[in-house]
């Protein structure tokens, strides 16, 4: 192995590494025990990046996704992270944390294109419950704006890395570079949940389907029976949302201690740096 | 002190501790007894082999440690998918190692083993990363052959990738460390370089009881 000749590198930028100034161990206390609770993802990012230095992109716009540049173990990296605290837009309207809105999808798509232009690897920190629904966002073109983000992620030529730090639900999984979007490495923290939608939401729908099918067969469904059915559905659903269920099937490469995140990203970028062949960035038709 | 912070901290630390316990269990492969048997034969376990191969002073990460977790219970389980995959450094060079675990059904390939082998090769291809195979495999797990043999992303793809990677100039080195049968024989021979361990390594397409009636 030591006699193999050197090959050209991709040339991702790296300087001398510095540990984060803020304590990494505090991540344990910042991540809420209950997945429905809020937290500020900047508190997580600043405990993952060198020197806790993070240069945020458009901090006052599209606040439910935080984008910006930092370094991990010296490697330059563009971070795209879901913001889980409730935020307000310029008009003073509340936006729910972990949800992708029109403005945040637009911002993230633009940031990802900038990173491609500047040859900066991307790191996605997923804690996402999906895209905003409702007539207001539908009329504002949420599908079209989401499509722009999915397009930018899918067509990215710089290496992508994904860490599922909380929820990974619905099309949010896709837009935030889920397994289907070719992340070079994808890992989950042990508190992660991966599914098409949250358990409570899915439980109701699945219950309706089962009750309707049983009633069609002439069965009488009492309130007790309904509760029994729901419990059974939720047990099974929660089992399939578990990160071990995902890891068993290689939907993620590993379940990691949050304190190993920097190591995984650093070794990942070092590995990606071996491949000097990068296609020209061409996002195709952007859904404006 | 902030009570919520402490509560969160306890909860996540507990999840991490559970993860580490499960990892330790998975690392035993087919069980301590099976590892002892390997040792008696003068062989090492897949994880011990990788540990000796890697530079001790450098970090390493494991791909798919939880592969097959709680799956195939009716067949006695398949810890880590019966194959250990790690990224680390050999003589200072970053590389990916794929080591069959002979304590899990003699290193036989379950459907998820195929997926994991393909994932390791995908990582090597996407990143032009040298790949080292420590082969010790009985080939396809026959009871599940219909789920792993003929489709595009089944076992044939592994040998196709061997050829593609060779053409791409990606270093592929195989060490034959046990009896490598059928599919287990193709992989090392499709690699650019193959080494065989004296006395313990053997390679063949089919045992004589099969050879009268079938061809590989």
User: pLDDT (tens digit, 0 to 9) for every residue of chain A, 288 residues total?
Assistant: 889 998 999 999 999 999 999 999 999 999 999 888 999 999 999 999 999 999 999 999 999 999 999 999 999 999 999 999 999 999 999 999 999 999 999 999 999 999 999 999 999 999 999 999 999 999 999 999 999 999 999 999 999 999 999 999 999 999 999 999 999 999 999 999 999 888 888 888 899 999 999 989 988 888 898 899 999 999 999 889 999 999 999 999 999 999 999 999 999 999 999 999 999 999 999 998
Q: Do B112 and A249 lie within an 8 Å CB cutoff? A: yes
Q: Output DSSP code: residue B78.
A: -
What span, in angstroms and rounded, lies between the C-alpha atoms of B187 and B160?
A: 10
The rounded distance, in Å, linking the Cα atoms of B33 and A95 is 56
Query: Taking 60 as the threshold, does the pLDDT of residue B1 lie above it?
Result: no
- Residue span(s) of chain A under CATH 3.90.226.10 come to 24-192+252-270
Q: According to CATH, what is the number of the domain A24-192+252-270?
A: 3.90.226.10
Separation in Å, CA of B206 to nearest CA in chain A = 30
- A1/B91 Cβ within 8 A: yes
Q: Do A254 and B63 touch (CB under 8 A)?
A: yes
In a domain, B216, yes or no: no
Residue B106's pLDDT band, with cuts at 50, 70 and 90, is confident
Quick check: B59 and A28 CB within 8 A? no
**Full residue range of the structural domain in which residue B103 is found:** 3-211
What is this model's ipTM? Answer: 0.94
With beta carbons less than 8 A apart as the criterion, state whether B143 and B177 touch.
no
Best residue of A250, A262, A266 to probe chain B, by most B CBs closer than 10 Å? A250
Please tell me the distance in Å from A231's CA to the nearest CA on chain B.
22
Enumerate the residues of chain A whose CB falls inside 8 A of the CB of residue B9.
Answer: 28-29
Residue B64 located in a structural domain: yes
Contact A191 B64 (CB under 8 A): no
The partner residue sitting opposite A263, judged by closest CB among B2, B59, B94, is B59
**B130 within some domain:** yes
- How close B17 gets to chain A, by Cα (Å)? 9
Residue B123 inside a domain? The answer is: yes
Residue of B nearest to A27 (CA): B9
3-state secondary structure of A124: strand
Query: CB-based contacts of A105: which residues, under 8 Å, 6+ apart?
Result: A62, A65, A131, A142, A145, A146, A148, A149, A175
How many A-B residue pairs are in contact by the CB < 8 A criterion?
A: 123
- Which residues, at least 6 apart from B150, have a Cβ–Cβ distance to it below 8 Å? B156
Helix axis angle, A142-155 relative to A102-117, nearest 10°? 20
Give the CATH number, domain containing residue B187.
3.90.226.10
For an interface test with B, give the residue of A10, A190, A236, A245 to mutate (most B CBs within 10 A). Answer: A190
Q: Is residue B52 part of a domain?
A: yes
Of the candidates A29, A244, A255, the beta carbon closest to that of B9 is on A29
Chain A residues close to B129, C-beta within 8 Å: 271, 274
By C-alpha distance, which of A135, A143, A207, A208 is closest to A170?
A143
Which of B126, B168, B173 has the most A C-beta neighbours within 10 Å, making it the best mutation to test the interface with A? B126
Asked if the Cβ–Cβ distance from A244 to B69 is below 8 Å, we say: yes
């Amino acid at each position: 192995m030591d006699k193999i000749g050197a090959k050209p590198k991709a040339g991702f930028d790296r300087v001398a590494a510095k540990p984060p100034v803020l304590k990494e161990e505090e991540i344990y206390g910042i991540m809420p025990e209950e997945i429905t609770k809020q937290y500020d993802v900047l508190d997580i990012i600043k405990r993952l990046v060198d020197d806790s230095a993070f240069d945020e992109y458009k901090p006052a716009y599209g606040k439910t996704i935080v984008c910006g540049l930092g370094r991990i173990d010296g490697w330059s990296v563009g971070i795209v992270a879901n913001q889980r605290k409730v935020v307000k837009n310029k008009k003073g309207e509340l936006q729910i944390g972990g949800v992708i809105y029109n403005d945040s999808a637009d911002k993230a798509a633009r940031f990802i294109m900038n990173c491609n232009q500047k040859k900066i690897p991307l790191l996605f920190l997923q804690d996402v419950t999906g895209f905003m629904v409702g007539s207001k966002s539908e009329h504002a073109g949420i599908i079209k704006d989401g499509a722009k983000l999915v397009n930018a992620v899918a067509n990215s030529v710089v290496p992508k890395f994904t860490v599922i730090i909380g929820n990974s639900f619905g099309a949010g999984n896709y837009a935030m570079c889920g397994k289907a979007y070719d992340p070079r490495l994808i890992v989950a923290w042990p508190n992660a949940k991966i599914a098409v939608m949250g358990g409570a939401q899915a439980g109701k729908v699945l219950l309706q389907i089962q009750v309707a099918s049983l009633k069609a067969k002439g069965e009488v469904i009492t309130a007790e029976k309904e509760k029994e059915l729901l419990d059974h559905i939720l047990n099974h659903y929660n089992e399939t949302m578990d990160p071990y269920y995902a890891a068993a099937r290689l939907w993620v490469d590993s379940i990691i201690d949050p304190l190993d995140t920097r190591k995984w990203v650093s070794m990942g970028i070092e590995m990606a740096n071996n491949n000097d062949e990068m296609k020209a960035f061409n996002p195709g038709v952007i859904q404006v | 002190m902030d009570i919520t912070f402490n509560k969160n901290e306890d909860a996540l630390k507990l999840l991490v501790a559970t993860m580490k316990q499960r990892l330790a269990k998975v690392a035993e492969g087919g069980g301590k007894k099976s590892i002892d048997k390997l040792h008696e034969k003068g062989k090492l376990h897949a994880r011990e082999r990788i540990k000796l191969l890697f530079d001790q002073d450098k970090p390493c990460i494991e791909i798919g440690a939880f592969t097959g977790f709680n799956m195939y219970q009716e067949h006695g389980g398949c810890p880590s998918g019966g194959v250990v995959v790690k990224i680390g450094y050999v003589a200072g060079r970053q590389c990916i190692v794929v080591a069959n675990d002979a304590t899990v059904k003699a290193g036989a390939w379950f459907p998820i083993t195929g997926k994991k082998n393909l994932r390791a090769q995908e990582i090597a291809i996407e990143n032009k990363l040298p790949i080292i195979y420590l082969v010790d495999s009985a080939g396809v797990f026959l009871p599940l052959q219909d789920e792993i043999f003929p489709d595009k992303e089944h076992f044939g793809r592994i040998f196709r990738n061997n050829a593609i990677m060779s053409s791409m100039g990606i270093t592929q080195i195989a060490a034959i460390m046990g009896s490598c049968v059928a599919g287990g024989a193709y992989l090392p021979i499709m690699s650019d370089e193959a080494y065989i361990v004296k006395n313990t390594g053997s390679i063949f397409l089919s045992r004589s009881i099969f050879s009268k009636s079938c061809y590989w």
